Structure 1
């Protein structure tokens, strides 16, 4: 009886074999996602936001096409004006030489407008159309002030061509037309397109700083070279080409330092030939009339 019981328990302890599980095949796309440093949830979240962003852009484009955004913006501007955000004051600083009437005519056109409607970039661009204005800064000072800061150009020379005179800055920008008697002691540049060579001329004169303060004018000859005019009345003809002109000017500065060429009886120096220099003397003054000398001596005059 015991033997039969052990056999029965042995039979019950034997487990039935498990069914064979199928091996899951991993696709190439799954391997790519597994290689990324993002989880599947992150990717799904990013895709959701991308879809939302695309729908937002499409909705905005449709609203703009239908004119809804413009109407909403105008309504917002009207509400801002009612709330006190409207241009009531205009402050302009930095003006000395610029035509103030032109500036105020432009800036005051923004007065009584709602602050959101003021296009400060356009105001700045319009101001920069004036020759005297080098830069302009336009800003809103809430709730009711439009501030404009002007940076003016500085006159550096006078440009003469075809009987016309214009103030120009160091970069050759035309500031305004002037009369000959209004130029003061500014150097005068003669010739067509001479203003466009102002920067190059200044760099050339910087190479001979000892002479720069004595130069009162320059003529741009044949659109290729310079003739310099000195305070003492002499003219220096330089060769064409930046390098050749610089070498000739330095050579003249050395000769003037040794022999004192300026302020003597010489009126013209020609250094266009690299091998030699040509000097021209001033014409001798005609001798004074003997009779007038005698008369002058009788009247107490001094004979030179």
Structure 2
């Protein structure tokens, strides 16, 4: 009898179906069914529902392309298509203009820039072209830019020779910082009154020497060359035949003393081969006759 009571308890109340789906999936099913019913009764809901389905489809497609390794190629094909369309519309380089060249040959500049008529206007690498141009001899700075709608302009600022440097038998033109502009060849035009400096390290110290000599213009005009001795001090060659030995320090005081001697006794116009100013308290003069001794 007790057993029958237990069994009868199961028949009380309405029957409830237990869903075989997990709770999360069942909620998704209910949400999807609600969206479908809403799309059937409202045009706005229908459009929104179609947009959602399309977004999910596109996301799944993009994920499949990425996992399959096709996404980079798809992007590249898109870029090529865009490039071809723009080139068909006329966005190609029609000419490359070089401005500011003097000692440089225009063809050498164009070869360094490596941008040619017919190239894709927006595809040229301006920074790389600028670096290649600035690597040329004589070029101090270069600017490569686009000029709408189809021109490339290369503007150059050339190095200015500051000194003629002789080292180990090789002559080179250098700028104010001592960097080599170009080696001297038979075709090189050397500017007049360019100071010739000789020896290791002389190019880097040429600007300091020039600035010091500029305080005595008469001495500077008569200085034909300067030898950097032991990378510490200078020997000046005056008029090509009088050697003036300067100290390693207090160069201005030594040159002031030399200028004063020249003003009082015209020592540089006498028959001397060497004037030693290395000691602050004395001056040594060697006559021309004893030069070979």
**Pairing 1:211–2:223 present:** no
- Report what 1:123 is aligned to: 129
Specify the alignment match of 1:264 in structure 2. 270
| Aligned with 2:260 (options 250, 254, 278) | 254
Within a 5 Å distance, the mapping from 1:19-58 to structure 2 comes to: none
Question: Structure 1 residues 271, 87: CA separation in 2 closer, same or farther (over 3 Å shift)?
Answer: same
Matched, 1:194 2:202: yes
Matches within 5 A, 1:146-225: 146-179=152-185, 183=190, 185=192, 186-225=194-233
What is the 5 A alignment of 1:277-292?
277-283=283-289
Q: Does the CA-based 8 Å contact 2:197-2:225 persist in structure 1?
A: yes
Note the alpha carbon deviations across 1:274-302, whole angstroms, 9 max, x for none: 110111111189xxxxxxxxxxxxxxxxx
Contact 1:131 1:173 (C-alpha < 8 Å) held by counterparts: no
Q: Distance in 2 between matches of 1:103 and 1:80?
A: 28
Aligned to 2:97: 91
Deviation at 1:160, TM superposition (A): 0.6
Q: 1:116 to 1:234 in 2, by over 3 A?
A: same
The offset of 1:173, in angstroms, is 2.2
The CA deviation at 1:233 is: 2.3
Query: What is the DSSP-based 3-state SS (H/G/I as helix, E as strand, rest coil) of the residue aligned with 2:286?
Result: strand
8 Å CA contact 1:87, 1:115 repeated in 2: yes
Q: How many residues align structurally? A: 221
Return the alpha-carbon distance in structure 1 between the equivalents of residues 182 and 103 of structure 2: 10
Range with bigger deviation, 254-263 or 180-189: 180-189
Cα displacement (A) at 1:181? 9.2
Taking the aligned partners of 2:224 and 2:123, their CA distance within structure 1 comes to 50
Aligned equivalents of 1:69, 1:236: Cα separation in 2: 72
After TM superposition, the score normalised by the length of structure 2 is 0.68
Paired position in structure 1 for 2:248: 240
Q: 2:106: which partner in 1?
A: 100
Compared CA separation, residues 193 and 74, structure 1 to 2 (3 A) = farther
Match of 2:282 in 1: 276
Q: For structure 2, which runs of at least 5 residues remain unmatched after alignment?
A: 1-65
248 and 180 in structure 1: CA distance in 2 versus 1, 3 angstrom threshold: farther
The structural deviation recorded for 1:69 is: 5.9
1:124·1:136 contact (CA, 8 Å) conserved in 2? yes
The Cα shift of 1:81 comes to: 1.8
Equivalent pair of 1:248/1:271 in contact (CA under 8 Å): yes
C-alpha distance in structure 1 between counterparts of 2:186 and 2:263, whole Å: 33
Structure 1 residues 264 and 225, CA gap change in structure 2 (3 angstroms): same
